[in-house]
Structure 1
């Protein structure tokens, strides 16, 4: 298996503004609506859509407070165009939920959070999904499971520094098309797609240089040949 995590793709109602916001907040150089990886293995790509956000996204970013305070990050994000977002969080929950200029959620995690100790500023991708999905992605990316308890799972690259975590059941209501999805890069498209299918994915559509898959929970995944624009 040679699949590599490349990007979180967000279908956004304000793709240019969202890309600008994230590039400025993360301190990365962007190329149009593409924000390349920095201190995490995850790039961000924004695709235009007219559809508004409906309920929680399948994925959202957690920003840490390991090298700056939560208040500093929140203040900076608000200055760049974020707004506070109510997703049903309780008043005593310590994280701060914001929305980027496209209305898509992100969380700012407070100082001293042990779960994300040792990660970068973009420390975690929080995901909706079953235990089987966490196991699938562990095998697909070759990242070990660092948490597997009560249906909740998490994986990190072998060198650490970043986490993807799935919250287990019950799952959120799905809205199609997926507002956010993962994009993988591979060297041998046919062989690596075959490996992903053997792990539990299914092929939705093929086209030159790219295959759209559904993961074991039915979420959209795009697999592309590495090095494409």
Structure 2
């Protein structure tokens, strides 16, 4: 299938206290708070890291319910570095989480608002990703999800683990993987973590939205006032936003004003 030339621009996280989460993640990853406004706080990686998205925290009134379907996996260079990352996270306000993972070589933690993330043991695949190894998405059908998102982002499939996991990687070979992991849990509430995509240069917003819907997305009606971006759902119901020029950050939440320019 022909790629769409849309591109990933943000990973957005709903938060009761955006400033607390932004400070936590900036300190843990060694990144910086790049913008702070009433309706969002942006955390940005240094260019040397390879992460090209903004990590955006937006205020929402809804509490977190259940395990997130999208989470971050952090990379480590050695067992000592993994232990150091875990200790740093705990000192910054994270806590250990038991999701039934049993005896595994990675460590499952939750940030100050309960968003799960993993600190991975050293793995060759993530040796050059920077601080974040992977944006990991729970999926009933990893192959179907990977096919949709590779068309949307232009990131090719670069890894498969049987029928359990499919991984996409940016063509530059830098930054995190986008991975789809088989999980049979049923999606019950709006995701607190979602991706934003931007139309290709010179393309109209409505034209881009129509093409994405034709590729398998569906409109998402979350209520609230009109906003300049469009909220869609991927083939398994995960919300994402198609931004309208100029680039604006978006929250998949009703009642929030439009975002400022990057």
- Superposition TM-score, scaled by structure 2 size: 0.79
- Structure 1 distance, partners of 2:5, 2:172, is 17
Which of 102, 114, 137 aligns to 2:124? It is 114
Q: Which moved more, 1:205-214 or 1:157-166?
A: 205-214
Aligned partner of 2:151 in structure 1 is 139
Aligned partner of 1:93 in structure 2 is 104
Contact 1:10-1:47 within 8 A present in 2 as well: yes
- Structure 2 distance, partners of 1:13, 1:98, is 19
Q: Deviations over 1:42-90 (max 9, x none)?
A: 3211222343333321210011013771011111111211111122111
Which ranges of structure 2 fall in alignment gaps of 5 or more residues? 249-259
Which of 118, 127, 134 aligns to 1:124? It is 134
Give the drift of 1:208.
Answer: 4.6
Aligned: 1:156 with 2:156: no
Q: CA RMSD in A?
A: 2.0
Give the drift of 1:21.
Answer: 0.5
Q: Deviations over 1:172-227 (max 9, x none)?
A: 22132222111112253112212211210122359452101011111111111243
Which of 219, 228, 240 aligns to 1:203? It is 219
- Structure 2 distance, partners of 1:127, 1:72, is 26
Which of 191, 194, 202 aligns to 1:178? It is 191
3-state SS in 2 of match to 1:60: strand
3-state SS in 2 of match to 1:118: coil
In structure 2, the CA distance between the partners of 1:158 and 1:3, relative to structure 1 (3 Å rule), is same
Q: Deviations over 1:17-60 (max 9, x none)?
A: 11110111122221232213442123211222343333321210
Q: Which moved more, 1:182-191 or 1:137-146?
A: 182-191
Contact 1:8-1:180 within 8 A present in 2 as well: yes
- Structure 2 distance, partners of 1:124, 1:221, is 18
- Superposition TM-score, scaled by structure 1 size: 0.90
Aligned partner of 1:219 in structure 2 is 238
Give the drift of 1:2.
Answer: 2.9
Which ranges of structure 1 fall in alignment gaps of 5 or more residues? none
Question: Size of the alignment, in residue pairs?
Answer: 226
